[in-house]
Amino acid sequence: MRLLSCFLVLAVSTTHLCDAGPLHAQCRADWYFGIRCQTVYEALVSQIKKWQGRDGCKMGGQRCLYKLKSSSVHFIAAKHTSPLRGNVDDINFRLVSYPFIVSCRVSAMSVSESWYRVKDHGANYCNLYNLMEGSGLTQASGYREVTSDFMCTQRSTANCTVY
Ligand SMILES: *[C@@H]1O[C@H](CO)[C@@H](O)[C@H](O)[C@H]1NC(C)=O
């Protein structure tokens, strides 16, 4: 609904109201792989479990405090808590495989639970990207990412080493 009203605003006026990104701190991104969804699923779930505790953030960054909520090969739901400020973000991955070729599309979403968060320094994007990178999926065959500043708050300036 938010996205829709954003499009409508763009359509009826030339103001750049939506240039700054979503109206709430969040990120929507699609990742494509030339490997089976089962493999992608296992990599993501095992990475979420590896980063449950605080250890991953000992040297800084946000690669810790993930919590798996539910998982099936088609849908993974988790939470991520910022070790610094305690902000909680809800994340999910929807996995869709193509029947005739070995490939998998992952539609991912991360949304800050606090309704008032508008800026996040790209943290919602990093919530998702860090799992892709940490699990080695960014090196997988056919890896491709589709997102933008419009779909992800402050995506282009995100530094996932920090956030
Ligand atoms: C991201 O932050 C780290 C740690 O502060 C820094 O070393 C690195 O250069 C930054 N990367 C970019 C692309 O700004």
Residue 23: what pLDDT?
A: 76
Q: Does residue 60 line the site of ligand 1, with CB under 6 A? A: no
Residue 100: what pLDDT?
A: 79
Sheet order of strands, 75-81 included: 66-72, 75-81, 88-97, 104-112, 26-33, 144-146
Q: Which helix (DSSP H) or strand (DSSP E) does residue 30 occupy?
A: strand 26-33
Residue 11: what pLDDT?
A: 40
C-alpha distances out from residue 120 to 5, 38, 99, Å: 22, 31, 37
Ranges in the chain, pLDDT < 50: 1-19
Gap from CA of 66 to ligand 1 centroid (Å): 22
Atom of ligand 1 nearest to the CA of 162: 2
Residue 20: what pLDDT?
A: 58
To the nearest whole number, what is the mean pLDDT of the chain? 88
Atom of ligand 1 nearest to the CA of 60: 4
Gap from CA of 158 to ligand 1 centroid (Å): 10
User: The whole model's pTM is what?
Assistant: 0.85
Q: List Cβ neighbours of 128 (8 Å cut-off, separation of 6 or more).
A: 27, 29, 91, 93, 108, 110
